[in-house]
Amino acid sequence: MSSIKAGFVRSLLCCLTLVSVQFMGACRDTDGGDSKSISVASPTVTATIPASDATGAATNRKLTATFSQTMTSTTITAASFTLKGPNASAVAGTVTYDAASRTAIFAPNALLTANTSYTANITVETKNEAAVALASAYEWGFTTGADADTTAPVPHVFKPSAEPYI
């Protein structure tokens, strides 16, 4: 009887092992890498507009900071993305976040003062989707030029093809 039990237990363990392997294989990414993953590494700022130490920035320019990872939009606020002008005076503005481009946008409420140095700061309260904060605050400075950007935007015209879609 004990050899029958031992054989049954061995068979059961083999079946459970096969089921586990099948389950784990089904959980892997099989769609070419399009599945969403959340990183536990600290996010970083990868680009800013204006660039760090830029000169001649337009006085009507919005500031942007692009992140290495998708961030939690509720952590990107007027308290976590700030702009200071002369004498460390706070510049009032509106902060938004574009998840598609992973970009935070600071829009000043008024034109920036011409030929003036400014410092932008993103605090460690800014977090990614896994609630991981920036490893350290990110700060950059720039100087405005004499004028606002008056370049008219260039519209893009979409012309549908005469060919039917298949």
pLDDT at 3: 59
- Sequence-distant (≥ 6) Cβ neighbours of residue 79 within 8 angstroms: 123, 125
Q: Which residues contact 116 (CB under 8 A, 6 or more apart)?
A: 85, 86, 143, 144
Longest CA–CA separation in the chain, Å = 95
Please give the C-alpha separations between residue 62 and each of 59, 84, 118, 124, 135, in angstroms, as whole numbers: 9, 14, 13, 21, 25
pLDDT of residue 43: 96
Q: Judge whether 75 and 95 are in contact, CB under 8 Å.
A: no
Q: What is the mean pLDDT of residues 55-84?
A: 96
Give the pLDDT score at 156.
61
Which pLDDT score, from 0 to 100, does residue 111 have?
95
Contact 59, 144 (CB under 8 A): yes
**pTM for this prediction:** 0.69
List pLDDT tens digits, range 108-138.
999 999 999 999 999 999 999 999 999 999 9
Per cent of the chain over pLDDT 70 is 69
Which pLDDT belongs to residue 151? 74
Q: Which of 67, 137, 64, 78 is nearest to 102 (CA)?
A: 67
